[in-house]
Structure 1
Amino acid sequence: MFEVATAGTVTVIDRRGRRLGTVYLAHTPESKQGTMSRNLTRLVTAVLQAWERPLPRLCYVTDAGDNEAAYYATVLRPMRHPRTGDRLDWVRVVDYYHASERLWAMAGALFGPGRQAHAWVRRMQTLLKRPNGIRRVLNSASVHRSRQMLKGKRRAAFDKAYNYLRKRTPFLRYAAYQRVGIPCGSGVTEAACKTIVTQRLKLSGMRWTKGGAQTILDLRVLNLSGVWTEAYQRLLRAFPSVTVPTYATCGRNELTIAA
């Protein structure tokens, strides 16, 4: 089974696009990321439960991996507000930079390495952020594909990248997202992968058990989320009385033997 470490974030952004705060989650390598999904669901539910103001716009910004897509389809889309029971309306966004990677894959298949591929990708990246941009990008790619008469591996590489974008067209409306202040990239979560996991657990010569690594990750997310003091006080309240055993005093004979 394929296992990967995961990081997740819940971020509050104001109407001007300023990040007001972020809560972090992280988990050691696990197949299908079940623990992360459960913890993220509990966190989102707790935030909505405590939110007293008008409901904010809810956005789910990730790449389009199997686990991320499954979480959106099976958890977020059918999710209801924990207090009112109303169906929640989520805006699904496929990360712009992951979409850009498919532009580079198509350019490589169409033009090979070189300035022509680079120039086409730059034009398509700009176009992708304009109204109806994804359809205009796909149309340009289709025209070049028909002219190039791609075959073999080049055709397979092109089709894979093209179909990735075509199937996710409803989640690539970057012009509309930018107009209302929705982030187009999952940079906060990508940065969390580095600051929480990579910088601490992947140093030279390090070896970890899953239990030991998870303890370190838990401590780091508490610190980065700004809830260290609250969590520490809650832990202390869970142990109202702590008894520290005293060491027995050495007898005279024991001291003589030691001497």
Structure 2
Amino acid sequence: MSQVVSDEMAEYRHDAQVDQLLAWLAAAGASTGRHKPVACVGRDGITLRLRMTRGSLYEVASTGTVSVYDRRGIRLGTVYPAYAPASGQSAMSQALTAVIRDVLTRWEGPLPRWCDVTDAGDNETGYDDHVLRGMTHPRTGAALAWVRVVDYYHASERVWALANVVFGNASRAVRWAKTMRKWFLRPGGGVNRVRHSATAFRVARTLTRVQKKEYDRAYAYLRNRMGHLDDARYRRVGVPLGSGVTGAACKTVFTQRLKLSGMRWTKEGTQTIPNLRVILLSGIWGAVYGRVLAARPQPIMGGYRASEPDEIGIAA
């Protein structure tokens, strides 16, 4: 029964999420503050234990977010798509793109600032490069000016990795890493200053093979993403620095419901519960369930149409 209703409700998720985002954009536009309203997109993956014919297999499911922030940088709300493991995560890409395009098509006010905040993983970077970067406005054909942000906290992890390699003294490593994290947020090329400082200390040390590999990996992460680590500018224009909303979505959509002790799922079953959870978390349960009921033929009992109980609310 849950799967039947899940499939029915999933048909109305997209339209209800677009309606919700448009309402939040209207509220953001009417708010007071010094920033332009922001529409922020994110996506991330999480491993799930799937039940196979023989044993188990761990694969990556995907969660996406589209959030709206008002002129004071306050998040008004977030809508969530989520999908079971699939090669290339094409369903997630299609769902996110469809939501963005339909919001743009229906939105009549001044455009918000569109941004994309991720941890710069392979699927996330591919979506940026192949979809968002070339996206145009569906009505006007004008190119969209996306602000692409690499998550501040993932970048900070690389700073800590550099500190642990370069400094043998733990307290000195902590002091250096904390100072570098502050430099990230300062104008004037913060990440570049971090790289220069790390290099200066690196040449004074003789590293083991393992240490050199760790240092090179962390350093390359920062070097290759410098163009998307301009945190001082992002703060100045009210763009979020972190992908915490998307990271939290992985936990609330999947971990809290599908990764309890001993749980294993088939791919088909894996999609049933997220279909319901993203509707609930997006704040559109009533709207979607109402549309499902309206689309069903209602039996007439004693002159009144019988309404059905919300029998699957607990499943989400």
Give the alignment partner of residue 213 of structure 1, picking from 258, 265, 270.
270
Give the alignment partner of residue 168 of structure 1, picking from 225, 232, 252.
225
Task: Note the C-alpha offset of 1:2.
Answer: 7.9
Classify the secondary structure of the residue corresponding to 1:97: helix
Classify the secondary structure of the residue corresponding to 1:204: coil
Change (3 A) 1:177 1:110: same
The whole-number CA distance in structure 2 between the counterparts of 1:61 and 1:113 is: 34
In structure 2, list runs of 5 or more residues that go unmatched: 1-56, 302-316
Counterparts of 1:1-259 in structure 2, within 5 Å, are 3-112=59-168, 114-131=170-187, 132-240=189-297
Report percent identity of matched pairs. Answer: 56
Aligned length: 244
Task: Note the C-alpha offset of 1:32.
Answer: 2.2
Classify the secondary structure of the residue corresponding to 2:203: helix
Task: Note the C-alpha offset of 1:205.
Answer: 2.3
The whole-number CA distance in structure 2 between the counterparts of 1:88 and 1:242 is: 49
Counterpart amino acid of residue 166 in structure 1: R
The whole-number CA distance in structure 1 between the counterparts of 2:163 and 2:135 is: 39
- Deviation sequence 1:64-117 (CA, Å, 0-9, x none): 111100100000000011111111110000000100111111112112461111
Please tell me the root mean square deviation across aligned C-alpha atoms, in Å: 1.8
Classify the secondary structure of the residue corresponding to 1:21: strand
Change (3 A) 1:227 1:143: same
Classify the secondary structure of the residue corresponding to 1:234: helix
The whole-number CA distance in structure 2 between the counterparts of 1:113 and 1:45 is: 52
- Runs of at least 4 residues off by over 6 Å: none
Task: Note the C-alpha offset of 1:240.
Answer: 3.6
Task: Note the C-alpha offset of 1:31.
Answer: 2.5
The whole-number CA distance in structure 2 between the counterparts of 1:227 and 1:52 is: 22
Change (3 A) 1:152 1:226: same
Q: Which has the higher contact order (CA 8 A, sep 6+)?
A: 2
TM-score under structure 1 normalisation?
Answer: 0.89
The whole-number CA distance in structure 2 between the counterparts of 1:151 and 1:203 is: 40
In structure 1, list runs of 5 or more residues that go unmatched: 245-259
The whole-number CA distance in structure 1 between the counterparts of 2:276 and 2:117 is: 25
The whole-number CA distance in structure 2 between the counterparts of 1:198 and 1:113 is: 37
Contact 1:3 1:31 in 2 (8 A): no
Task: Note the C-alpha offset of 1:241.
Answer: 5.3
The whole-number CA distance in structure 2 between the counterparts of 1:163 and 1:2 is: 28
TM-score under structure 2 normalisation?
Answer: 0.74
Q: Partner residue of 1:249?
A: none
The whole-number CA distance in structure 2 between the counterparts of 1:10 and 1:208 is: 27
Task: Note the C-alpha offset of 1:194.
Answer: 0.8
Contact 1:78 1:87 in 2 (8 A): yes
Instruction: Choose 1 or 2 for highest CA Rg.
Output: 1
Task: Note the C-alpha offset of 1:237.
Answer: 3.4
Classify the secondary structure of the residue corresponding to 2:140: coil
Task: Note the C-alpha offset of 1:126.
Answer: 0.8
